Structure 1
Amino acid sequence: MDLSISDSATIDPSLDAPTLSADTLKQLNTRSTAQGTLRLAIHLLILLGSGYVWGANVGQHWTIAIPALVIYGFSLAAMFAPVHECSHRTVFANNTLNDAMGWIAGLLSLYNITFFRRYHKWHHRYTQDPDKDPEMSDPLPQTIGDYLLTMSGLPWWWGKLTTHTRVAMGQLEGYPFIPETARAEVIRSTRLQLGVYAIAILISISGGQPWFITYWLLPLFIGQPILRFILLAEHTGCSGDRNPYTNTRSTLTLLPVRLLMWNMPFHAEHHLYPSIPFYQLPIAHQQLKAHFSHVDPGYIQVNREIVAGLNSTV
């Protein structure tokens, strides 16, 4: 069964909106194992390089260690981006490679692609539908205090820990996006992931070195606020209807962010055409940008606007 996320959001049939031609879409839909491998290699090079600098300087040269930790932490948290792309099976031309790489990337970023693929498919199908879009189960910030809590990443950590635990125990009530036929696979995949974490913790403890904390837990804790800062911009402040030209935001940002986020900042383009691989999204952006309501110049500006609309109560 092909579980790739290829269908776009449910669009109001009465909507008169421009679309890419069939020939253009066919060309943009071309998957490339070479492009996927190159982006993965760049991401891993940044991850391993910054991790090495962090480890070599921690406790000695903090002016070098701290910037390296921030880069390492964000590149670790941003492994969510290949999880997202592999859930669409657009990174590589081979679906087995997409599934394997997505699982490993999820292991690094505390996501489980087997669960996420079903969750994310509903997000695309029911974008901004408060009754069906699973992303809307996480309340948006209403006050400055809510915003700061969201940016801390703490609700994300709690959500991941509780969800992984529930799924591993077979408690799938409340997850309507997981069909009966996929339940055993999702449970098995989540248990395997938690098992890998348990083994890593035991090895770290038995070796007398807190590397599980130094090289995974702490950096991911540091990187999550940056990822929250980016992901909050995707739909916040956009329309709550079925129009993908108005309910999703694309954000023009710096090359390093686009690189580590696998072009996810071109989010409106992605939601309109989920089948377009990450490396083709800049091309799609050039053809579609004039039709989107939300194309913003940078995440700082978007978050400033979000904060400006919040209740000042902490």
Structure 2
Amino acid sequence: MTDHKTLIASLPADTLARLGQRSDRAGLLHLAGHVGLIAGLALWVAQGWWLWPLALLPLGIAICFLFTLEHECTHKTPFRTPWLNEWVGHAAGLLILQPFEWFRYFHLAHHRHTNDPDRDPELLSGAKPETRGEFIRHVSGLPYWWAMARQTWRNALGRDPGDHVPARARPRLRREARVMLALHALAASSLAVTPLLFWIWLLPALLGQPFLRLYLLAEHGRCPRVANMLENTRTTYTNRIVRFLAWNMPYHTEHHTLPAIPFHQLPRLNALMRDRLRMTSAGYTRFTRAYLDDLRNRNG
């Protein structure tokens, strides 16, 4: 059986070089589309235009899926210019209450130890529900908001952020968390003057988070706990809207196999390795049904 290392070795060096080319143009165009979608929906809500409550859910989904942009920025791949990756990553993290500096180390540890039950921080943090009750709590998004608020506060106080964060990075985490808390406090204080941020940010984010939780479950949920990236990670074939919002991260096996490949090249990488993928799903609805069926069979 082919593993991801054998697959990588089989790809020509010039092909890998072409796939690995990052682009400010591709990143900025995609960013403009994502931010433009958020801004347009927020304007619809803020102006109270016809049927404006219907815009709350898609606005929240678009905001919450900034997670996938922040995730890409931890790999420094959306943009060729380094400072763009840093600033955009921090901005995305601010809007979804996920400290960028902390998440960088959390996520890189996840890549080093993907689906290892003893070392993958995603598994250790309980990100894969094992009962129907855990599934409902997880998908609600409430555990996520609590965990991120708690982590930001701990970082601000200089508490231990986890073994995956090196000592040299901890002052940066502390500074970042304090800036985040100050900005969030400023945003909260504005609610005393106008409820605008509640309607265009806070409420939509609460509504949109369950959709991100369901999306993320498909990346590794119910995949074998082995070292082979072709088995421990799932690629989900979905529509253009989801691929756009998720910055092509539904091509997740491809991303884990070669994490330095930028988002806009992942469809081309998929074409090269599609026949060797072990874990795939034909859509998120189908995956969720299978996940729930598995929970039902396991727990009765």
Q: Is the 8 A contact 1:29 1:277 kept in 2?
A: yes
Distance in 1 (alpha carbons) for counterparts of 2:287 and 2:3? 30
Q: Is the 8 A contact 1:263 1:281 kept in 2?
A: yes
**One-letter code of the match for 2:222?**
G
1:148 and 2:106 are equivalent in the alignment:
no
Deviations 1:272-313 (A, max 9, x none): 000000000011011111111112110000111100011476
Q: Is the 8 A contact 1:289 1:295 kept in 2?
A: no
Q: CA deviation at 1:51?
A: 1.2
Distance in 1 (alpha carbons) for counterparts of 2:53 and 2:247? 24
Partner residue in 1 for 2:225: 240
Partner residue in 2 for 1:45: 36
Q: Which runs of 5+ in 2 are unaligned?
A: none
TM-score, reference length from structure 2: 0.94
TM-score, reference length from structure 1: 0.90
- Of 126, 129, 154 in structure 1, the residue corresponding to residue 116 of structure 2 is 129
Partner residue in 2 for 1:8: none
Partner residue in 2 for 1:298: 283
Name the structure where helix makes up a greater proportion of residues. 2
1:266 and 2:254 are equivalent in the alignment:
no
Partner residue in 2 for 1:107: 94
After TM superposition, the structure 1 stretch with the greater mean CA deviation from structure 2, 196-205 or 231-240, is 196-205
How many corresponding residue pairs? 295
Distance in 1 (alpha carbons) for counterparts of 2:211 and 2:149? 20
Q: CA deviation at 1:54?
A: 2.0
RMSD: 1.8
- Of 215, 226, 244 in structure 1, the residue corresponding to residue 211 of structure 2 is 226
Q: CA deviation at 1:211?
A: 2.1
The share of aligned pairs that are identical, in percent, is 37
Matching of residues 204-219 of structure 1 within 5 Å? 204-205=191-192, 207=193, 209-219=194-204
Q: CA deviation at 1:56?
A: 2.4
Partner residue in 1 for 2:149: 161
**One-letter code of the match for 2:14?**
D
Distance in 2 (alpha carbons) for counterparts of 1:154 and 1:203? 23
Distance in 2 (alpha carbons) for counterparts of 1:14 and 1:29? 21
Q: Is the 8 A contact 2:4 2:230 kept in 1?
A: no
Change (3 A) 1:15 1:201: closer
Deviations 1:191-235 (A, max 9, x none): 111111011111332x2x122322221110011001001001100
Deviations 1:18-70 (A, max 9, x none): 22222111100000000000000000111011111122237xx5xx2233111
Q: Which runs of 5+ in 1 are unaligned?
A: 1-12
